[in-house]
Homo-oligomer: A and B are copies of this chain.
Amino acid sequence: MARRTGRRPGNPDTREAILAAARSAFAEKGFDGASIRAIAAGAGVDPALVHHYFGTKDQLFLAVMDAPIDPGTLIPDLVAGGRDGLGERLVRTFLTIWDSPAGAVGVALLRSGINNDWSARLLREFLTSQILRRVLAGLDLDPAEAPLRSSLIASQMAGMALMRYVLKLEPLASAPAEAVVAAVGPTMQRYLDADLSAVRAALG
């Protein structure tokens, strides 16, 4: 039925049903565990219709999160420069997005993620599958350490967003982006590069 009207908007009820089924599947099973087949079944439609309306599983997840930006289009370029200076590039790109009108969506995502467990799980999956995994994918890192490095990177990034955009703690709140890059970039670089053997020993 939707084919005649083109890819968007399609039937709004069908779209909503797919989004609702996708939201619960991603929250319950995670991004990797949620299949398009199961999402389609949850919405009572054919899997082909899910692809027709939303494209790939990544794109469906971006639609669920109302993400204003597709990290999949930004991150490969960022990582292509290699690990040298990646800490600063990560912070700079992050700030470019958060200082733009898209930042309001970021704050809303953070807010919903902190407000209930359901949104927290979605936000965690979004961070992991759409951002962190892509950042680390192009780097030659020990796979046993990658999740630790990415959770540390996420902690500094999210905390910076919290202080700069939500709690508005000065001077971080109104500092020019390059000052934040100079201050926080080396932390990100350390989380990419540092010897984590002491941390891994304590992890057991």
Contact = CB atoms under 8 A, between A and B. Distances in A.
Interface of A: 110-111, 113-115, 120, 123-124, 127-128, 147-148, 151-152, 154-160, 162-164, 166-173, 175-176, 178-179, 181-184, 186-187, 190, 194, 196, 198-200, 202-204
7 contacts: A111-B115, A151-B172, A152-B172, A152-B184, A171-B203, A178-B202, A181-B202
Contact of A168 (B111, B124, B147, B186): B124
| Chain A contact residues: helix, strand, loop or mixed | helix
B163 A158 contact: yes
CB-CB nearest 8 A-B residue pairs: A159-B159, A179-B202, A151-B172, A155-B159, A178-B202, A155-B163, A182-B199, A183-B199
Given A158-B162, A162-B162, 20 more contacts: A110-B114, A111-B115, A114-B166, A124-B169, A128-B169, A147-B171, A148-B172, A148-B183, A151-B170, A152-B183, A155-B160, A156-B159, A157-B159, A159-B160, A171-B203, A176-B202, A176-B203, A178-B202, A179-B200, A182-B199
A152 to B, nearest CB: 6
Contacts of A123: 167
Contacts of A113: 166-167
